[in-house]
Amino acid sequence: KNGYTMFPAGPSREYLNRGVFLQRENIPCALYALEVSEEAYARARRRAEHMMNHGHLYRFNSLGLLQSAGMGIAEKVCAFVMLLPSAFSQSVSAFVAQNTGAAKPDRAKKALRYSVVTSLCISVFVFYFNFFHGDLLAGIFANDRAVILEAADYLKAYAIDCLLTSFLFCFVGYFSGLGKTVFVMAQGILGAFGVRIPVSFFMSRLPNVRLFYIGLATPCSTVVQVILCLAYYAHLSRREKAGPAV
């Protein structure tokens, strides 16, 4: 285990002069003494040494059972909600490809604008239900009240992303229809590895972190991806106005 982080979560050998104890000197702790036989001590020591030498067999989720279950339930809701922007993306992609092939780029751009507006209008309702009534949506997949509340906390962050994906997915469909698939792949990779994972890691290190804060990594990534899409759209528009190079 890394001495300064919780990853990977598992057996760890701690030291007083480095790692967590050096970085955070005021961590409250307690030491307990229990008298055992030499045989029991040797057996416990062998067990501890086995765990340290085979740490990959003893990994665990550092968030806790309720948070893990809540995120699992929330992801089920997210998978269902994502069907809407995915449908817009695929429809825009097909329409843009057809009109680009027919040499009608203006119709392709109109399709992008209309799809963004329509998707955004619908996403407002999705945002409302996810942010203010996430417990009702999570209750479809779970009965435990504590798990439902954790899922609802995560869905509040995802609700913000619902508004942003109305832009992102339409742009992705537009660029896919134009055949700019390399850019689509690049912005997706950058958003995931450059923003979402680092933000999730940073949030997870906060004390008493809630799923809401960890879930904010997704809208943060989407914001960056939307900015990249807008910049690339402006670049293509300028190149189109400039005309073909002589």
Report the C-alpha gap between 196 and 174 in whole angstroms. Answer: 23
- The residue with greater pLDDT, 29 or 195, is 195
Q: What are the tens digits of pLDDT across the range 147-203?
A: 999 999 999 999 999 999 999 999 999 999 999 999 999 999 999 999 999 999 888
The predicted model gives 32-59 an average pLDDT of: 84
pLDDT of residue 172: 97
Token reading at 246: 């002589």
Side-chain-side CA neighbours of 210 within 13 Å: the count stands at 12
Assess contact for 209 and 203: CB atoms under 8 A.
Answer: yes
Q: How confident is the model at residue 53 (pLDDT cuts 50, 70, 90)?
A: confident
Q: Given a cut of 50, is residue 34 above it in pLDDT?
A: yes
Report the C-alpha gap between 155 and 151 in whole angstroms. Answer: 6
Q: What are the tens digits of pLDDT across the range 118-137?
A: 999 999 999 999 999 999 99
Q: What are the tens digits of pLDDT across the range 62-117?
A: 667 788 888 899 999 999 999 999 999 999 999 999 999 999 999 999 999 999 99
pLDDT of residue 21: 64
Q: Given a cut of 50, is residue 4 above it in pLDDT?
A: no
Q: Given a cut of 80, is residue 3 above it in pLDDT?
A: no
Q: 18: which DSSP letter?
A: B
pLDDT of residue 186: 97
- The residue with greater pLDDT, 218 or 26, is 218
Q: pTM of this prediction?
A: 0.76
Assess contact for 123 and 165: CB atoms under 8 A.
Answer: yes
b (16+ CB within 10 A) / e for 198-231: ebbeebbeeeeebbbbbbbbbbbbbbbbbebbee
Rg of the chain over all Cα atoms, to the nearest angstrom: 25
